[in-house]
Chains A and B, each alone.
Chain A
C-alpha cells in the first residue's frame, strides 16, 4: 500500500476506515460469534450481517474484535435493541453516546431501532414493550427519534413491533402512527414481516391489510424470523416473536408479496435463540436472496427507497 492510500485509510481518531460496502439488493443474517470461523471459511459470501448494538458496547475484547473482522469483508447492520425510544422518559444520554460511538467505529450500512420501550425509571426490562398510539406518545417517539438521528448524524430505520396486547387509550392505528413518525422525523422504516404476521394473528386482523396501509416506500430493511405458538385466554392461537426457528411459510409468502411490489430491499434472517449451525442460517438467507433476485426489475414507482 502506498503512502497516500494509507493516509486516506486512517481517520483523524487513528482508527482504520472500513471499506464502503453497499447492502442494496442483499440478504443477510444475524451475526453470532459461534459462526465466526464458519463464516471466515466461506469463499464467496455476499450477504450482510446484523448485530445487536448492545453486545458491542463493552470497552474491547473478543466481541469487538470479531465484529471488526466481519466488518472488513461484509456490510454490517447495527440494530439497537434497548434505546427505549417508545417510552415517555428522556433517552439515556450515556446509552445514546455509546450508540453513537459504535456507529462511528464500525461505519454500518444500516442503523435501526425499535418502536418499543424497555426501560422505566432505572429498571431495564430486557423486552420490547408496547405503547399506546396517541398524539402524546407520538410526540415523545418523534422527539426521541430526532434526538437519535441528530446525535449519530444519520437516518435510522424504526422497526414495527410484534405485540400481544393493545391499549384502550390508543386513538391511532399502528400503521398511521408509523407513517406519522416517518413523515415527521424523516426516519426510514424496518419492516419486520414476521412481526406483522404475529401481530395480525394476535389481534385478529389481516396481515395483507396491514401491509397495504404500511408506508412501504420508506422501508430500508426487512426482517424475517421464526415464531412460536401459545394459547390466549380464550384458547385461541397466540403467536410469540421468538426468533428461534425457521421463517414460517406464511411469512415467506407475505415477504414475496412485498418484494414483488417494492423491488429488492435488504433482508435479514433474524435468529437469536436456539441458534442453528451456520449452514442452516445461510440456506435461509439464500432463500431470501432468491426472492430478491427474482424481482430486481421491480423498483418502487417513485424511485424512493430508504437506506
Chain B
C-alpha cells in the first residue's frame, strides 16, 4: 500500500467505524457513505442491519436464558435484553460465551426488582451453557475411593470435572429453574428456602441438581483444591446435620470430579 493511502487511513475513520457507530444506537444518523441504489433512500435499508444485530443478539440471550424468558414473558425479556445488549454488546464472536454479565444486569434492572430470584435463575442457566461446552473428561469411577486406605481418605484432593459448576442462591432458584426450563404447566412453589445448584454433565448430558444442606460448601472446598477432611469440616461447621457419606456418593454419581490424588504425601 502507498504511504499516502496509509496516511489517509490513519486520519479518516474507517468505513467500519462509520458503519458500526449507529448499529446499536438508533438515535445516530445513517453514515453518509451508505446509499441506496440510484435515487433510493438508505434509511430502511441501513435499519435492516440495525435490526439484524439487535434481534439476533436478543435471540442469543433468549436461547441461553429460556427459563428467565418464561418467567418474565417474552415482551419483558426482550426489552430487558435490548437494554443489556446496548450497554454490553458481545466482545467475542462465540455467542455461547455471551451473557456472562446478564445475571448481574438483571439484579440491577429496575423493572425486575420484584423478582429477586431472577438473577440466580439466570446464573444457573449461564452455568448450564458453560457445562454444555466444557472440555470432555472421564468422571472419577465409583470404585476409585474403595482403593484408598480408610485412614488416608481425609487427605484426598480432587480435580474438578471441567463441566462441574455450583450456583448458590438465597432463593429457591433450583426449583424455579427446573419448573421454567421445560414447557410443562407451572405448579405452585412449595418452598421459599435457599437452594444451591450443582451443574454437571454425566454421560454428555447437562444435569442440574439441588444440593443438600452443606453440600455447596463441601464441594466448593473440594473444587478449590481443599482436602476431603477440610471440606467435611467446613460443611459440618455450616450445617451440623451434614451427611458426609451421602454427599460423597452424590458427588461421584453426579460426575463432579475427574481425578483425585492423596495430599500430604511427604
What is the distance, in angstroms, from A16's C-beta to the closest C-beta of chain B?
14
Per-position contact with A for B63-89: 1 when CB-CB < 8 Å, else 0? Answer: 000000000000000000000000001
B178 at the interface (CB under 8 A from A): no
Q: A120-B17, A204-B37, A233-B40 are in contact. Are A126 and B48 (CB under 8 A)?
A: no
Pick from B19, B49, B93, B95 the residue with the most CB of A within 10 Å.
Answer: B93
For the complex, give the distance between the alpha carbons of A190 and B162 in Å: 38
Q: Is the CB of B93 within 8 A of A169?
A: no
* Contact between chains at B90 and A165 (CB < 8 Å): no
- Give the segment of A52-60, A103-111, A144-152, A295-303 that binds chain B: A52-60
In the bound complex, do residue A54 and residue B95 qualify as a contact, i.e. CB atoms below 8 Å apart? Answer: yes
> With contacts A136-B5, A166-B36 known, is A124 near B89, CB below 8 A?
yes
Report the separation of the CA atoms of residues A240 and B45 in the bound assembly, to the nearest whole angstrom.
10
Inter-subunit contact B45/A61 (CB<8 Å)? no
Q: Give per-residue flags for A233-257: 1 if the beta carbon is below 8 A from chain B beta carbons, else 0.
A: 1101010100000000000000000
Given contacts A125-B53, A126-B56, A136-B9, contact A166 B91 (CB under 8 A): no
B45 touching A232, Cβ below 8 Å? yes
User: Contacts A126-B57, A165-B42, A203-B37 hold; do A88 and B133 have CB atoms under 8 A apart?
Assistant: no
Binary interface encoding of chain A residues 143-174 relative to chain B, with 1 for a CB under 8 A from any of its CBs, else 0: 00000000000000000000011111100000
List residues of chain A with CB within 8 A of the CB of B136.
59-61, 64-65
Q: Quick one: which of A61, A231, A232, A238 contacts B163, CB cutoff 8 A?
A: A61
Contacts A64-B136, A123-B91, A165-B34 aside, 11 further interface pairs with beta carbons under 8 A come to A57-B94, A61-B134, A62-B205, A125-B23, A126-B95, A136-B5, A136-B9, A167-B34, A233-B40, A233-B42, A236-B40
Cβ of B7 within 8 Å of any chain A Cβ, yes or no, is no
User: How many residues of A are in contact with the other chain, CB < 8 A?
Assistant: 54
What chain B residues lie within 8 Å of A127 (beta carbons)? 49, 52-53, 56
Question: Are A123 and B89 in contact, with the CB atoms below 8 A?
Answer: yes
Q: A58, B37: Cβ atoms under 8 Å?
A: no
Known: A60-B133, A61-B134, A233-B44. A124 touches B92 (CB 8 A): yes
Would B44 and A58 count as touching, CB distance under 8 A?
no
Query: Which residues from chain A contact B32 at a C-beta distance below 8 Å?
Result: 168
- What is the minimal beta-carbon distance from A205 to any residue of chain B, in angstroms? 8
Q: CA of A230 to CA of B46 in the docked complex: distance in angstroms?
A: 13
Tell me if A118 is interfacial: C-beta within 8 Å of chain B: yes
Is A132 a contact partner of B33 (Cβ separation < 8 A)?
Answer: yes
| Cα–Cα distance between A177 and B45 once the two chains are bound (Å) | 22
Chain A residues with Cβ below 8 Å from B14 are 88-89
Once the chains are docked, how many angstroms separate the CA of A291 from the CA of B163? 46
Closest 4 CB pairs of A and B: A58-B133, A82-B93, A59-B135, A60-B136
Given the interface contacts A58-B133, A238-B48, does A123 sit within 8 Å of B94 by beta carbon?
A: no
A-contact bits for B1-31, CB 8 A (1 contact / 0 none): 1000100010000111101100110000000
**Contacts of A136 on B, CB cut-off 8 Å?**
1, 5, 9
CA–CA, A96 to B86, complex, Å? 27
Q: How many residues of B contact A (CB 8 A)?
A: 51
Q: What is the distance, in angstroms, from B61's C-beta to the closest C-beta of chain A? A: 11
Provide the residues of chain B in CB contact with A165, threshold 8 Å: 34-36, 42, 45-46, 49
Q: A119 at interface (Cβ–Cβ under 8 A)?
A: yes
Interface status of A95 (Cβ within 8 A of chain B): yes
B204 touches A (CB below 8 Å): yes
Interface residues in B97-139 (C-beta closer than 8 Å to A) = 131-136
Task: Establish whether residues B204 and A164, one from each chain, have CB atoms under 8 Å apart when the complex forms.
Answer: no
A117 within 8 A of B: yes
Q: How far is the CB of A180 from chain B (nearest CB, A)?
A: 15
A59, B93: Cβ atoms under 8 Å?
no
| Interface hits, B135-185 → A, CB 8 Å | 135-136, 162-163
A220 near B: Cβ within 8 Å? no
**Measured CA separation A84–B96 after assembly (Å):** 18
Given known pairs A61-B204, A167-B34, the reply for A125 and B20 (CB within 8 Å) is yes
- List the A side residues contacting B45 at CB < 8 Å: 164-165, 202, 232-233, 238
List residues of chain A with CB within 8 A of the CB of B44: 230-233, 238
Are B33 and A167 in touch, CB under 8 angstroms?
yes
Mind listing 17 A-B residue pairs with CB under 8 Å? A57-B94, A58-B132, A58-B134, A60-B162, A62-B132, A65-B136, A120-B17, A124-B91, A125-B20, A132-B15, A165-B42, A168-B34, A204-B37, A232-B40, A232-B41, A233-B43, A240-B48
Query: Assuming A132-B33, A232-B44, is B204 touching A65 (CB within 8 A)?
Result: yes
Q: How far is the CB of A225 from chain B (nearest CB, A)?
A: 15
Say whether, besides A54-B94, A164-B49, A238-B45, A123 and B37 are in contact (CB < 8 Å): no
A142 to chain B, nearest CB (A): 11
- Among B15, B91, B94, the most chain A Cβ lie within 10 Å of the Cβ of B15
